[in-house]
Amino acid sequence: MKTILEAISAYLETVKLARSEKTWMAYTTAMKNFVITLTDHNINVERDPVNELSEEVISWFAYDLKGYAATSEQLYITALKGFLEFLVAEEMADVNLSKVKLLIRQRTRKPGKRLPQFPADNIQKILDHLENTPIELGEDEKEYLRALRDKAFLITLADTGLRVHEACGLRRGDIDWNEGKALVIGKGDRQAVVRFSRRSQKALRDYLQARAQFDGKSGKPLGSLPLFARHDKGAGAKVKSITPTTGRNIVAEWVKFILGEEAMGTITPHSFRHFFVTRVLATTSNLKLAQNLARHKNIAVTQRYAHLSDDELDKGYWEVFEN
C-alpha cells in the first residue's frame, strides 16, 4: 500500500501529463498546503498508508484555507477533490465522493463574480483612428492589404460582438450583403445570426475590393474564400484564412501603434466583445436585446455587463438628491 506522500506524488505526475504546466504548479502548491494540514492533524504523510484518508480531510483543508482569497480556496479544494477522485479510480482508498461534493458545497466559499474590466475609451480611440486615418496604396501591396484587413477586422469585432475564432472562420459567402447579416457557428456549435453595421460593411467592402485581383487568381469560388485572409510571404499566392493567433496579434499591434507600449496587454480581441455588449446596453438599456445580440446562452452572463461607471452613479445620485 502506498503512503500518502507516494500517492500525492503519483497524482501530481498524472496532472503534469494531462494538464498545463501552470495548472500542475498550482496543484503542487495546493498539495503542499494539504500536507501541512495533515501534519497538523498528527498524520505522518511519509509513513501512514493512503487508505486511511477519508472525506473528513475536505473539512480540515477548507478550515485552514479561510485566510486565503475565495478564488485560491476554490483552486486548492479542486486540487484536493481531484486527488480524492484519483485515489478512488486507482482503488487506493475507499472515499465517498458524493459526500466529498456535499462537504465542498457546505464548507467552502464561492468566489464573487468579477465585472468585465476593459478600457472602453482606449478601444474607442483605436476605432476613431482607424476610421479617420486614410489608408494609401504604397509600394508594398501586401502591407496595404494588411492595413485594410486589420481595419475591417477590428471594426467588425467591435460592431458585431464576434468572438475571435468566429471572425477568423468567416467565409466571403457567409455574409448576406443585402441584409447585412451572416450565419455563424458559435460557442457550443450553436448556429446564430450576426448583424453587421454599415461602417463594418464599408470597411469589409473596401478590403475585399482591394484584394479582388488576389482572390480572382485563386481559382476557387469567391464565396468559399476566407473573409479575412493572410497577406504574408508564408501564404504565397494562396488565399489562406487568418488564425485566432493572427487575430490576437492584429489587436496587439494596433494597440501598440495607437496607444503605445504601456497599453500592451490591456486590450485583447475579447475586449472588443465586451465593448460591443456594453455599448448595446448603454444605448438601449435592454438586457434581453443585449443577450440575444451577444448570443449569451445565460442572461446572467449579460447582466455582468449591466454595471454603471462611477461617473454615471455620481450623476444619478446628485440628480436624485440635489435637483
pLDDT, tens digit, 9 for 90 and up, residues 62-76: 999 988 888 889 999
Q: State the alpha helices, DSSP H only, in the chain.
A: 4-18, 21-40, 56-64, 70-89, 97-107, 120-132, 141-160, 164-168, 198-210, 212-216, 244-259, 269-284, 287-294, 299-303, 310-321
> What is the grid cell recorded at 280?
448595446
Q: What's the distance, Cα to Cα, between the start and end of the chain in Å?
A: 76
pLDDT class for 320, splitting at 50, 70, 90?
low
Decide if domain 128-264 falls under CATH 1.10.443.10. yes
Q: Domain segments of the chain: what residues?
A: 4-107, 128-264
Tell me which of 1.10.3470, 2.60.120, 1.10.150, 3.90.1170 is the CATH number of domain 4-107: 1.10.150
Q: Tell me how crowded residue 299 is: count the other CB atoms within 10 A of its CB.
A: 13
pLDDT class for 249, splitting at 50, 70, 90?
very high
Percent pLDDT > 70 in the chain is: 92
CA-to-CA dists, residue 34 to 8, 30, 81, 148, angstroms? 10, 6, 11, 55
DSSP classification of residue 298: S
Residue closest to 23 by CA, chosen among 88, 104, 96, 82: 82
DSSP classification of residue 264: T
How would you classify residue 140: left for phi > 0, otherwise alpha for psi between -120 and 50, otherwise beta?
beta
Confidence at residue 275, expressed as pLDDT on a 0 to 100 scale: 93
Confidence at residue 256, expressed as pLDDT on a 0 to 100 scale: 96
pLDDT tens digit string along 265-317? 999 999 999 999 989 988 888 889 989 998 888 888 888 777 654 555 566 66
Please report how many Cα atoms fall inside a 13 Å half-sphere around the Cα of residue 129, on the Cβ side.
Answer: 15
Is the pLDDT at 114 greater than 80? The verdict is no
pLDDT tens digit string along 230-242? 998 888 788 999 9
Is the pLDDT at 222 greater than 90? The verdict is yes
Percent pLDDT > 90 in the chain is: 70
What average pLDDT score do residues 173-198 get?
A: 89
Residue 192 parent element (H or E): strand 191-195
Confidence at residue 233, expressed as pLDDT on a 0 to 100 scale: 86
